[in-house]
Structure 1
Amino acid sequence: MTTRTLAVVSAGLGVPSSTRLLADRLAAATVAALRERGEDATVEVVELREHARDVADALVTGFPNAALRAAVATVTGADAVIAVTPVFTASYSGLFKSFVDVLDKDALTGTPVLLAATAGTARHSLVLEHAVRPLFSYLRAVTVPTAVFAASEDWAGGDGAGQELAARITRAAGELADVVTGRPAAARPADPFTDVPSFEDLLRGTA
């Protein structure tokens, strides 16, 4: 069974936070979807709250410290990324964007990414399409069609709201799993002698 690495980026500021809760649910759903497709997965969480000062220092000095380098390596070396941000002032949070700014602009090229966001009201739901998706499109990441937004009512709005959120999570996780499992294995150097005719064919003049 192939084992994939799934990096989860959570930009929530509270402990606990709805952002981390959504991130964990998306990760669990994606692991389940991958297993249904015959692949295993390991999950590595990057909690940006723990790296806030490291990110600020790196933006000022241009040199990330060891802890931030490890976080960056986790994200850029993963088979897929789940990126979840809270909504601040009708856009992604400053911490979320600052971490993205620390990444090399080519580091996520071709990487499958599931986008998600949390906010206090559903009025912010389009932030995923007008702010977050364009950001990852600039980085040339492969974002899955379904982005998951969760407002306060999704957590406390009764069974109907909870079921709708669960359905979005399941759909997005399935899309991410499909992209990950559909990716070809790493290209290996071609054998220069693959198409060389045999000596017998050369003697018969059939090559």
Structure 2
Amino acid sequence: MNTLPILPPPMPNYRLQHANIDISLDQIKQVKTEFHDSTGQMCSTFEAVAATFWKFRTLAVNFEPNTEVKLVFFANCRQLLDPPLPEGFYGNCFFPVTITASSETLAQASNVEVIKLIQEAKGNLPVEYSKYMKGDSMKNGEDPFAPPLIYTTLFISEWGRLGFNQVDYGWGPPVHIVPIQGSSIIPVGIVGIIAIARERHPVDDMVC
């Protein structure tokens, strides 16, 4: 007697809402200066914004202390391909970076410590990419391209270099850029740059 396959559980709907968070260059410079003064090393604007966003989002949600939270973002992996991409290739070539921490650890960490977590994960990209290409990462049932579809996962995507703020739509550059909500489950942070006219000189601010 044939039986019907078991249906997957229904997908939750957290009714996520759009929220715009303006982060000025002065705030970003302050975080980057703090990191340099503490470590003697440099950090990128994305690392500073992602660390701040992840930490304070965790604080705002107020998870239970032992809750496992994840930060996921895509990193360029063109330099890891063998054979290399052909000259003139234009398109995406990325690998997901996933960072896991307890909500309590993240909430108590400084910006410097969270940035270190991000840099360590990025530094481990060649190893994780190699494991994936060999099929080793799939042996444990873990697919880096399929992060857990749960509220504790924060996905961040960087749009600052896509040039949306430089496009003339017929009446000038955009005043604001708002992405279409693609998931009702995983919170997604879009990091972009908008030009704010100030005495005829554009000032770039980060927007999440």
TM-score above 0.5, yes or no: no
Say which structure is richer in helix: 1
- TM-score scaled to structure 2, two decimals? 0.34
Q: Which has the higher contact order (CA 8 A, sep 6+)?
A: 2
- TM-score scaled to structure 1, two decimals? 0.34
